[in-house]
Amino acid sequence: MLLSPTSNSMALSTASNHSNFLNHRDGDSPLIKPHGSETLNPLFVQDAQLQQQLLAEAETLPSLLLNSAAAANAVMLGAGYFNPLSGYMNLADALSVAETLHTVDGLFWPVPVLNLVEDISAIEGASRIALRDPNTEGYPVMAIMDVAAIEAVSDAQIETMAQEIFGTLDAEHPGVGTFTNLGRNIVSGDIKVLSLSYFQADFPDTFRTAAEIRDEIAQRGWQKVVAFQTRNPMHRAHEELCRMAMERLDADGVVVHMLLGKLKKGDIPASVRDDCIRKMVELYFPQNSVMVTGYGFDMLYAGPREAVLHAVFRQNMGCTHLIVGRDHAGVGDFYGAFDAQTIFAERVPAGSLEIEIFNADHTAYSTKLGRVVMMNEADDHSKEDFILLSGTKVRQMLGDGIAPPPEFARPEVAKILMDYYQLENA
């Protein structure tokens, strides 16, 4: 039985989810189905000749320079993570998703996928437009869009969506601050994606589309697969959490799936995180037990809603389980420690997702037991029996060239982080 921080019985999302997964393991069906469709339908144009035709056409079309959030959505649509969506949502779907977690047509979806625009003067009246990448030099075309509608969105509607998505309107929340300043026009419609931005070039060994991850899972012969979401380097507690999930679920492997897009100021760059995670996997996990991969999305810091979004695109990439731990996708004190777990029981209707949730408590090294444990499972422990370091304390130590204790961070990982912080502080 999987253990939850609040109840031993609340370990997996729903019983129906489990039976759905078992059905997909019957016979020769090796992988869990993607969300909302029988097969994965990424929007990236694979055919080279068609891609060149569309790129040539794009040069004749009105252009829209996307903001980073809309560009990240295009990457996720192109890479298949947002299956079965065919493009950007309109205002009605955005409000419906924000308020009910469903599109107007009834598709379960946790967060609006929008192309919010401030200035629409260059595309007014256009039925087909080129979308340009704000994160790549020269602003190359990244998609062609068939415009279904250009709708003005009011401040009140933006605030309604922000409140539902982030649970707050506090401008100090980094997600709220970004979302409420993206623009007051929604440009909706289907897209054909021609570029996955800078991610393939900058992270050739790590960035993978959902289809590529599904293919590799199949090639490895994995069927029960755990996803671990991270925007940080992995310390001992994260490492052991992956190991616990594998053992308790009798899983074939773990996909460590790191966010490669934009973060808030002070977060560790993706290249450094990548180095840390690869070193940890190389030294401390058996071969063919961990895939190190990444995806091109900007962090929302939306806590519970983002946890559900994470579940959607982990199902799309072929994972059967997602680890959801303490303050998953949270920031500051905006969310309760386990809100990202309870949302699956309280707001996700049975059968909406086939992926299952592995609920995890805070993990830490026990000096009594000499190993990392889930704190809620150590009944005879006090706080003093765990090695607990705040993020601020760890950053200060690393910046001063002091390695955190090996019970907290692997020495080889700490060395990579110390080199980064000392270079930053030089």
Enzyme catalytic residues: 231-232
Distance CA 174, CA 68 (A): 14
Report the alpha-carbon angle 148-152-153, nearest 5: 115
**Coil, helix or strand at residue 117:** strand
Q: Are 319 and 226 in contact (CB under 8 A)?
A: yes
Distances (CA, A) of 113 to 80, 349, 363: 13, 20, 33
What number of H helices and E strands is found in the chain?
14, 14
Q: Are 398 and 418 in contact (CB under 8 A)?
A: yes
Site of tokens 């897209």: 191
Distance CA 422, CA 126 (A): 51
HEC sequence for 57-85: HHCCCCEEECCHHHHHHHHHHHCCCCCCC
Distance CA 224, CA 206 (A): 22
Note the Cα 317 to chain centre separation in Å: 11
Q: Are 148 and 90 in contact (CB under 8 A)?
A: yes
Token duo for residue 143: 């998609």
Token duo for residue 207: 């960035």
Q: Which residues of 334-349 are buried (b: 16+ CB within 10 A; e: fewer)?
A: bbebbbbbbbbeeebe
Distance CA 355, CA 16 (A): 10
Site of tokens 């960035």: 207
- Beta bridge partners of residue 419, listed in sequence order: none
- Beta bridge partners of residue 364, listed in sequence order: 373
